[in-house]
Each structure stands twice: as structure tokens, then as C-alpha cells.
Amino acid sequence: MRPNGVLMDTQLAEGEFVEVGQRILGLLPTTRIVVLAHSEEDRHLLSAIRLGARACLSGDIIVDGHLLTHLLGIPASMKARDNVS
């Protein structure tokens, strides 16, 4: 099974989200990565950009399910089948 997208959290151990993201993209280069950042520190935002993340979202906001499924590239047929909102 190959994921369309991965939601990653910057609260992994220091810098690990970048390493994990690079591994994912090395194995599955078409996978979309969305980073959830719990701070607005420039280093987290820059790391997400360098990684090639599709988006970097603030952990302080509630993300609309439709936006998240779009950013992660989940097909409409899969959303209906798996009841993803």
C-alpha cells in the first residue's frame, strides 16, 4: 500500500520530521507531505519548505477535513469509501 499523503508533526524529536520526510520521499517521491507545526519558529517553517512539504499548517488551528484531504491528495472516491471528511 502506498500512501497518497502523510501528515507529519514537528513535535517529533528535534529534526526527525525532516529525516523521516526525506526517507518517505526517497522511497515514494510522489507522496504529498503536509507538516503540522506547533510553533511559528522560522527553523520549522524553513525545514518544511526545504523538505518539499505541500503545506505547513499551524497546530493551533482546526483544519477543515476537505482542505486536508485535498492537500494530502486523497481521491474523492476513497473519501466516500473510507468515510473520510
Q: Give the three cell numbers for residue 21.
A: 520526510
CA distances from 19 to 23, 51, 60, 81 (A): 6, 9, 24, 32
Determine if the pTM surpasses 0.85.
no
Q: Does pLDDT of 18 surpass 80?
A: yes
Check whether domain 5-82 has CATH 3.40.190.10, yes or no: no
> Does residue 75 surpass a pLDDT of 90?
no
CA distance 59 to 69: 17
What mean pLDDT do residues 41-59 have? 81
The ranges assigned to domains in the chain are 5-82
Check residue 23 and give its pLDDT: 92
Residue 78 has what pLDDT?
A: 58
